[in-house]
C-alpha cells in the first residue's frame, strides 16, 4: 500500500509538472492543488523508505502549495535569488572540493544540494521571482543530481519521478526559450 501511495504521488506530480511545462496559460490553483496532493503522498512513502531528502523536499513543497492555496503572501519571506545562488555555489563547490581532495563522490551532500535547489527554486518561482524557464532548468538539474541518493535509498517512486521530471523540465524549458528576460 505504501509503494502504491508513492507511485500515486509520482503520477500526480508528473501530470502537474507536464501541465505547467506544456501549457503557458496554466492556472495557479490547479498547479498548487496538484503539488500539495502529490507532495503529501510522497512524504508518506519516502518516510517509510527513510529517503530523507525526498521527505524534506516534499514537505517544503506541501507547505508552500498549501500556503498559496489559502492566500498567504510568500513575499514576506526574505528569500531572494542572490541567496539562492550563493548557497547553491557553496554546496556544489563543497561537493567538487570533496571529490578533488578525497577522491570520492559524496552523494548524500549532492542529494541535500538537490533538496535545497528544488525547495529554493520552488519558493522563488512561487514568489514570482524566477521565470518559468529558469525554474524548469533548475528542476532538471535538481532531479538529475538527486538520482544517486534515491538509488541508494531504494526510493523507486521518487527515482522514477525524477527521471521523467528532468525530461519534462528540459522540454518545458526549451519551449519557453523565447521568453524575454530583462535583467
Cell 516534499 identifies what position? 58
Per-residue pLDDT for the chain (183 aa), expressed as one digit of tens each? 888 998 999 999 999 988 888 888 889 999 999 999 999 999 999 999 898 988 999 999 999 999 999 999 998 988 999 999 999 999 999 999 999 999 888 999 999 999 999 999 999 999 999 998 899 999 999 999 999 999 999 989 889 989 999 999 999 888 876 654 544
pTM, rounded to two decimals: 0.85
With vertex at residue 5, the alpha carbon angle to CA 124 and CA 7, rounded to the nearest 5 degrees, is: 70
Q: CA 84 to CA 75: how far, in whole Å?
A: 15
- Which grid cell is 95? 561537493
CB 22 within 8 A of CB 83: no
Q: CA 114 to CA 72: how far, in whole Å?
A: 26
Burial class (CB in 10 A: 0-12, 13-18, 19+), 35: buried
Amino acid at each position: 500500500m505504501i509503494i502504491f501511495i508513492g507511485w500515486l504521488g509520482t503520477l500526480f506530480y508528473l501530470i502537474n509538472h507536464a501541465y505547467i511545462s506544456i501549457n503557458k496559460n496554466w492556472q495557479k490553483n490547479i498547479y498548487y492543488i496538484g503539488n500539495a496532493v502529490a507532495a503529501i503522498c510522497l512524504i508518506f512513502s519516502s518516510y517509510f523508505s527513510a529517503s530523507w531528502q525526498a521527505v524534506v523536499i516534499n514537505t517544503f513543497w506541501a507547505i508552500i502549495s498549501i500556503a498559496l492555496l489559502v492566500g498567504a503572501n510568500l513575499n514576506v519571506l526574505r528569500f531572494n535569488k542572490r541567496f539562492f545562488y550563493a548557497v547553491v555555489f557553496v554546496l556544489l563547490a563543497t561537493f567538487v572540493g570533496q571529490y578533488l581532495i578525497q577522491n570520492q563522490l559524496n552523494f548524500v551532500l549532492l542529494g541535500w544540494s538537490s533538496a535545497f535547489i528544488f525547495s529554493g527554486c520552488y519558493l522563488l518561482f512561487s514568489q514570482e521571482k524566477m521565470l518559468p524557464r529558469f525554474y524548469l532548468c533548475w528542476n532538471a538539474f535538481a532531479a538529475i543530481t538527486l538520482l544517486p541518493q534515491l538509488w541508494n535509498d531504494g526510493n523507486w517512486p521518487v527515482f522514477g519521478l525524477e527521471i521523467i521530471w528532468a525530461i519534462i523540465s528540459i522540454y518545458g524549458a526549451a519551449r519557453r526559450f523565447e521568453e524575454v528576460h530583462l535583467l
